[in-house]
Structure 1
Amino acid sequence: MADPGIPGHRWADSTWAFLREGYPFIRKRCAAYGSPVFQTRLLGRRTLCLSGLEAAELFYDARRFVRTPTSTPAPLRNILLGAGGVQGLDGAPHARRKQLFLELLDKENVQRLTQVYEARLSEATARLPVGEAFECLPWIEALLCRSVCEWAGVATMSDQQMHRLTRRLASLIDGSGRLDWRMPAAWWRRKACEAEAARWIENCRRGAHPALPESPLHKLAQHRDEQGQLLAPRVAAVELLNILRPVVAVGRFLLFGLIELERQPRWRTSIARNEGAAWAFAEETRRFYAFFPMVAAFVRESFEWRGYRFDKGTRVLLDLFGSNRDAAHWKAPDSFSPERFGQCPMKTSVISQGGGEYTYHRCPGEPLTLSLMQATFEYLCRHLQWRLDVKAVDFQRLPMLPREAVPMTVTGHPVHEKTSA
């Protein structure tokens, strides 16, 4: 009979250790135990922690694990995701809701939103004065928010309203992992965002808010659940925010990528001149800078894996950060090296936005994220000269960011010849 003993401390709570250590928490302990799994307690609940790409393959097996509204810790669920959204569904309700997101974020819509964003990026860079520094992340977030609102059908806002929405959405991202004043502030902004989005849904249903039939706002307003009922306005609002907020969150990937372009300027030339270089750079940025450290689920039915027993109902956390740096699959995993792409060792190789199939719990916005990242890197490397005042990224911070604001300064407008890779 296989040994069911799992390394770790079943009764010792590691919540404060996790908050102190941040992203490396699971990876460090798996290395210390010499095991892809260990047990601990987080927020008082027994939890199994998994790390590595083989563990990711296991975790995204729908026969083994189930997502429920309580899978994700309450602060993250209540602030970042909202109640009733697709992330907390399972089975037929999840499949039906997920299909809607796959349609909203299909290839055609990804291309359409990317084109809107490229136009806004071109307009914004044309207005940037040479030699004057500005804070990079808020500038990018504002461009992304304006673009996604225009594409989604909710662009009828003044500049002041758009700025307020951008800061609210950014607050949901920044406050979801912080046990300080940012968390209650983000919770109030979540409620304000949901109330505003619910009004958009109700107005769209009454015809008071014009939205094209193919727009996400219109499709969410008219979407029906598996019983044939329209979604409650607040639930539809949560799902609309689950489109707007992640696009604003792409700004963080972009900031990390720009930091690496400042550190490795040869990649600016490569991206400017070669097709495909921006894709490799975007993939490596997502691998190296996982957005959140982990994702949660519950064991659906008891089973054994590698001699370890997983009991039904146990909460399990998959280490996104550490799995993206799995030394068994990535050479020099702690080095930022875009050269490692285009050969992916497994279908879950980069799991910053989930793994497995898009029809399950992999983020349907992953292709959009890559498209926006590629468009940004290509445009800024081909049409702008700029410098960044690089700050060290804090991997203990949840979610990670540089320790200080990152200023960006435009220095000129280059001309590059584009060639094929």
Structure 2
Amino acid sequence: MSEYSNFTIIGVTGFGESGSSAVTNILEEFKCIKLLRGGAEFECKFFTNTIFPLETALKNQLYVNAAVKEMLYQAYTLSKDKFYAENFGTDNFIKLTNEYINSVTGVWLGGSYSERDSFFISKKEQNNFVKAKALFNSLYKNAYNLYEQYHWEPSFQQVANQYYGKFTDDFYTKTQEYTAKLFNITGEKQRFVLVDAMFRPETAVQELNWYTNAKFIIVDRDPRDLYILSKVYKGEPYLPTWNVDSYIDWFKTYRSCNECNAAYPEKILQLRFEDLIYKYEESLVRIKTFLSLTDDEHIKKGQVFIPEKSRTNTQVFRKHPEYAGDIRKIEKKLSEFCYNYSEEQIRCFESKDEIGSGVIIEDIRKQAIIFQKTGRLPFSKFKGAFLFSLLYLNCMTLRNRKTFFSKIKGFIKIFFSMIIFPADFLYKLIYIIQFQSKNKNKIVEFR
């Protein structure tokens, strides 16, 4: 048992816009649960994004070097992020990650093969490579004298640490020690540490092996609402709502992990977002039972998560009768995932304010993507050239300047952009015309 294992990590996640932050809000109300700095704003995805590829690579003894470099690259990059630095410590994060890598892999100095290698080779060293190559050629002088059917001879290339290894019985033990030490900064003298988006539902069972003490909560949402929320309001690029058939297939595919997760009821709790609202007390009992929490520890009940307010974010599919055909398909193909509302729970939307503004974010995304791919605009090329000009850009960013001196700087930029506006406008116009000409036969398929 690790010396850093007195606390339990609670990981909360969903499938993207599926309402997992509601559980995070509920758990914030308990005095025995410590939330990482940053709260629900801090999506701690480092471990799921790096340990999973590393474990997979070690099990197959393939692409180990690439997996290690990616992990190190993300560690160095994220160590500068405010929330990672506050929760894990900048130097501590990098130090412990390097120690962990060295404990599960071997390393040697060899040729540069990973796309991340350049990140770990200093600029000065990269600039000196040409001279080093010239030195190699000068010393070598084409001395190769073995037989080759096709011409070949040794050549010099940049070198960097190259990692190798295979999966061993102590991999999970070493990984648990690594994660426990990192979370110990927050978890010391705590009963629970709450982490948002720490794992993926699809790999939850496997990821439990990485932590000494951990429990996962997964939240899912009615597929009808998820479809409309992305299509009409949020336009999330990771939700495939261009085509309802693709959406249904995607939804089914990613929920195929539910049965596997259900086999671990002591470690994984699966909740419905709608139950948190319409069956609040029942859901609360499930959460408290799962984590062995008491009513006395729930000192801020109803202060962070307010079911009545969150009710606004349910049944949004009823606001949009224009998508009734898509909703019927979803109800037919994904019936087991659609929430069964009672007569009393069904919401009715009648006023124009309730139904919405009529702005469909997916239509806006389509126009932007069509321009990105083909250069075609929903308005004239001249308006587009003005929209992309430095003058327009500086005018738009002026509103975001808060201090007096930053506003002065903004006005100066606008002044100079007015001077160069004719040339800048003409340059942007020519760019649009040329891009449209090169891509006039390109067709964008939204599927």
Q: For the superposition of Structure 1 and Structure 2, which TM-score range results when normalised by the shorter chain?
A: under 0.3
Q: TM-score, normalising length from structure 2?
A: 0.23
Bigger RCO (CA 8 Å, 6+ sep):
1
Q: TM-score, normalising length from structure 1?
A: 0.24
| Higher share of residues assigned helix | 2
| Higher share of residues assigned strand | 1
